[in-house]
Amino acid sequence: MDPAAIAELTVEMYSLIDAKLIARNFSMLDPEIKAMLLDKAMSVYITNLIKGERSTSERSDDSEAPRLASQKQLAYIDDLGGVSSEIHTAKEASDEITRLKKK
């Protein structure tokens, strides 16, 4: 998140907190307490935002389609005596190569 967006968000959050306090008849609250509330609210919000971005990036990595096995992998499986026609993904090919090399 860029600094300008954080600054804009901070102003919006401060306005929201101020409006909520006024609505609840806390308009005369000490400015230091308001600042503390804003600091805590921003801390929680930014932490959740960062966690959300991490979760999203982890999910996007997991949701990518698996890579297909390369022709070199399939040929190597055949050379090792395996059956390459049953292999579809690069992971399957890698596992099969490892298995065949242990024989």
pLDDT in tens, 21-38: 788 887 777 888 878 877
What mean pLDDT is predicted for residues 82-103?
A: 90
Burial class (CB in 10 A: 0-12, 13-18, 19+), 31: exposed
Q: What is the pLDDT of residue 64?
A: 64
What mean pLDDT is predicted for residues 60-84?
A: 82
Q: What is the pLDDT of residue 41?
A: 79
Domain that holds residue 44: 3-63
More confident call, 39 vs 57: 39
Residues 8 and 47 grouped into a single domain: yes
Q: What is the pLDDT of residue 55?
A: 61
More confident call, 23 vs 77: 77
Residues 27 and 77 grouped into a single domain: no
Question: What CA–CA distance (Å, rounded) separates 82 from 99?
Answer: 10
How much is the pTM?
A: 0.40
68 pLDDT above the threshold of 70: yes
State how many domains the chain has.
2
Residues 20 and 59 grouped into a single domain: yes
7 pLDDT above the threshold of 90: no
